[in-house]
Amino acid sequence: MTNDGLGPDPRHRAAILAALTRGIARDVDRLPLPARLCNAFVDVFGGAGAAITLGYHQPDRLTLCATDPTVARLDGLQEVLGEGPGWDAFTSRRVVTADLRHPTPWEHFSSTARQELGELWVCAVPMRPDDRALGVVMVYDESPEAVGGDPVLAQFLADAVGAALLGHDALLTDDVGPWVVRQQVHQAVGMVVAQLGISPVDAMAVIRAHAYSQDTTVEAIAALVLDRALDFSDTGPTTKDPE
């Protein structure tokens, strides 16, 4: 389901932003900004957990934070399978929800998520602070009734989160954060390009397919490629036992 709300009543915007600001201001010394934005989004909107991903289905896709393993797996499944509410939210620039208790447009994502994680409700919201899709905030819970799921509020919050991220220079210098992890994915893509003589887009597809077949993440496969524990060639992928 999609929604294209126009925004909350102006009388409530100040209160909403104040609540978001209070959430961002917590744990400044303990958590980086993306993690605080995730927590603040959940505090204001509701939900059991949230993730923030930039780019989504672009080559430089990057998950900045995930509040718990469940939402991290929901995010990872969509990257590996190439489908899901997050993909549609990013391309349509509209709020997209999925109730895994019922049939959805994403057969593979829904069946795998339902089998691994249970019958959850997922809400994917595009961050569009400057009228373009910067990324997606994804929230989940046991049911829409547990959250309320107001798409107008969700969109307003996601746009505010996107604006906060656009102005955060520290994201570019976090040596131990997700930027480095994603750089490793790009390096692994380059190695697969060299091994198979294919395009970067095709190399990324190979890595995603291998992650799916091994029931793991793109980042995990990239790490194996970089460690040369996984080698792709014309004769097919080979793995080496650690010495």
Are 125 and 138 in contact by the 8 Å Cβ rule? The answer is: yes
Give me the number of domains the chain comprises.
2
Which residue, of 150, 173, 196, is where some domain finishes?
A: 173
170-197 b/e (C-beta count within 10 Å ≥ 16 → b): ebeeeeebbbeebeebeebbebbbebee
Helices 10-25, 33-45: axis angle to 10 degrees equals: 140
- Convert the pLDDT of each residue in 125-135 to its tens digit: 999 987 789 99
Q: Please check whether residues 139 and 213 belong to one and the same domain.
A: no
Asked if 47 and 151 sit in the same domain, the reply is yes
The predicted-structure confidence for 86-126, as pLDDT tens digits, reads as follows: 999 999 999 999 999 999 999 999 999 999 999 999 999 99
pTM attached to this predicted model: 0.76
pLDDT in tens, 46-91: 999 999 999 887 777 889 999 999 999 999 999 999 999 999 999 9
Closest to 50 measured CA to CA, from 33, 78, 32, 71: 71
The residue segments making up the domain with residue 85 are: 2-173
